[in-house]
Structures are given as C-alpha cells and as structure tokens.
Amino acid sequence: MAVTREMIITTLRAHLEALPDVLACWLEGADAADRVDAYSDIDLCAALLPGGMDAAEGAARAALRALGERDLDLCYVNEPNQRHLIFHLTASPAHTILDLVFYIGCGSDFIEGDTVERPLILFDRSGAVRFHPAAEQLAALNLPARRQALRGMLAQSSRVDKYLARGEFIEAFGYYRRYLLEPLIEALRLRYTPLHPDYGIVHISRHLPPEVTARLERLHQAVNLADLANNAAQARAWLMDELDSNSPADNTQEGA
C-alpha cells in the first residue's frame, strides 16, 4: 500500500496529540505556504514540556511503524532543547522525506504577516506558537548595518579580477560567487524579503519578481573566462546600484 503525505501527517498528529507533554504541533515549509507539489518534503515541528523529548520521539516512531518500513532514519540534531530527526518510509514517494523537529518550550517564533515563513498549526494547547510584529524583527536585523557589510564585500571584488587576469577560471568563479553573487543575492533579499536576508537561494525563484530572477539566472551562467568577466562586470554594477539605492527594505515591513 502506498503511503501518502496526508497519511504521515495525520498519523503523526494523532500519536503526538495523545501525549500531554506535547504542547503544540505545526507544519512549516510547503504545507504552511500552500505550495505542496510532488517534490515537497514534510516539515513537522512540535513544542514539548521539559522531559518530554524521549516520549515524543517514541510516539513518532510508533506512528511511522504503523505505516510501514523506513529506508531513512537519521538523528540530525540531538541537543538538550532540540532534536531533529529525518525519516523516509519505503512505501512513500521518493521526495516525501520527513523532517521532524522537537523543541523544548515554545519552539519557533514567527512574524506577523510574514509571507515567506509561517506555520500551519495542527494543534496548540497553550499558545506555544508565538507571533511578533514585523517592525520588531526588522529593528533586530539592523538592515542598514547589513548593507554596509555588503559594501565591504563589494570592495573586495577585485579578487575576481585578479584570477580573471591570470586565466584561472575555477578560482575566478569561486571568488565571483563569494564577493559578487552572494552579496548581490543578499542585497536583493534586503529589498524583496527583508525579514529573511539570510535565506540565500532558498526558494529565491518564488520570492523575487520573475524579471529579477531571470536577470539573476543569467549571471549564474558562465562556461569560460569571457563569460565570467562579462557577468562579473554586470553583477558589480547591479550590486552597486542596489547598495546606492534607497531600498524600501530599510523602511517597510515585509508582508504588511
């Protein structure tokens, strides 16, 4: 019998909700964003009372045993206040990998109105899932200081030119990514997803406007030194424009 993601979520919820030490359970990722497709994994989290970690893991394992054999069983993080387990059931689709995270206490905090990262709450007995104002998060991130740090990266982009002049493609490409592409991506994040400047390329094709994504894609395409030199010049100019512009990221709230 094939095991669907709905069966996995429903069975896990039932087993975890039966434990009094499990305060809340929620989904993140594709389920929470209503973007599930054939390639989506399952990001399920739970907030626990102190001392409830082993019982919660035992309940989760019992739920999965009820659904069949596992061909993936890893403990990715095992700390006093957090445990991250990764599973895959043999009878489930190949991409239906389960990321199961247990937190002691409230677990993840979320931002009001955030369109990038939000929970789909399955149950919450005590208000363990908390939301904070976007302005509070933006102030904590200190976006102007981040923009200044990006200027420091841009100032070092001559490292790219050095290896281009030497005709050493691998080194030039590596420094191009480090000192131009990655800072450019963060600068674009500061404009379009200011609550998440550290997201890098994660779902970036969904988070940026299509025309911006297309332009960025072109800068990732280089097969020789000439391509790379041209891309570096374009990336440098674009990054300078972003850093010199009056980005709305410093003054607005994402998702408002």
Alpha carbon separation from 57 to 22, 43, 78, 84, 231 (Å, rounded): 11, 15, 11, 10, 49
Please list the alpha-helical segments (H only) found in the chain.
Answer: 5-17, 29-33, 53-65, 134-141, 143-155, 158-166, 169-176, 182-192, 204-207, 210-219, 225-244
Residues in Cβ contact with 51 at an 8 Å cutoff, skipping those fewer than 6 apart: 21
How far apart (Å, rounded) are the C-alpha atoms in residues 44 and 119?
A: 10
Radius of gyration of the chain (CA): 22
How far apart (Å, rounded) are the C-alpha atoms in residues 160 and 255?
A: 36
Where does the pLDDT of residue 246 fall: very low under 50, low under 70, confident under 90, or very high at 90 and above?
low
pLDDT higher than 70, residue 254: no
pLDDT higher than 70, residue 126: yes
How far apart (Å, rounded) are the C-alpha atoms in residues 27 and 30?
A: 8
Q: What is the pLDDT of residue 245?
A: 87
Interval 73-90: pLDDT, tens: 999 999 999 999 999 999
82-119 as b/e, with b when 16 or more CB fall inside 10 Å? Answer: ebbbbbbbebbeeebbbbbbbbbeebeebbeebebbbb
Q: What is the pLDDT of residue 247?
A: 56
How far apart (Å, rounded) are the C-alpha atoms in residues 102 and 15?
A: 14
Q: What is the pLDDT of residue 252?
A: 39
Q: What is the pLDDT of residue 255?
A: 37
The interaxial angle of helices 210-219 and 225-244, nearest 10 deg, is: 140
Provide the token pair at 145.
């200081």
82 touches 104 (CB < 8 A):
yes
Q: What is the pLDDT of residue 1?
A: 82
Provide the token pair at 123.
């149950």
| pLDDT, average across residues 128-148 | 92
pLDDT higher than 90, residue 149: yes
67 touches 11 (CB < 8 A):
yes
Q: Regarding predicted confidence, which is higher, 251 or 63?
A: 63
Where does the pLDDT of residue 105 fall: very low under 50, low under 70, confident under 90, or very high at 90 and above?
confident
Average of per-residue pLDDT values in the chain: 93
How far apart (Å, rounded) are the C-alpha atoms in residues 236 and 155?
A: 10
| pLDDT, average across residues 42-67 | 97
Q: What is the residue-wise DSSP string for 47-85?
A: EE-TT-HHHHHHHHHHHHHTT--EEEEEEEEEETTEEEE
5 CB neighbour count, 10 Å cutoff: 18
Do the strands 22-28 and 120-124 form a parallel or antiparallel pair, or are they unpaired?
A: antiparallel
Q: Say how many Å lie between the first and final Cα of the chain, rounded.
A: 45
| pLDDT, average across residues 106-131 | 91
Strand, helix or coil for residue 42: strand
What is the H or E stretch that residue 45 is in? strand 42-48
Share of the chain above pLDDT 70, in %: 96
Share of the chain above pLDDT 90, in %: 89
Q: Regarding predicted confidence, which is higher, 52 or 253?
A: 52
| pLDDT, average across residues 175-199 | 96
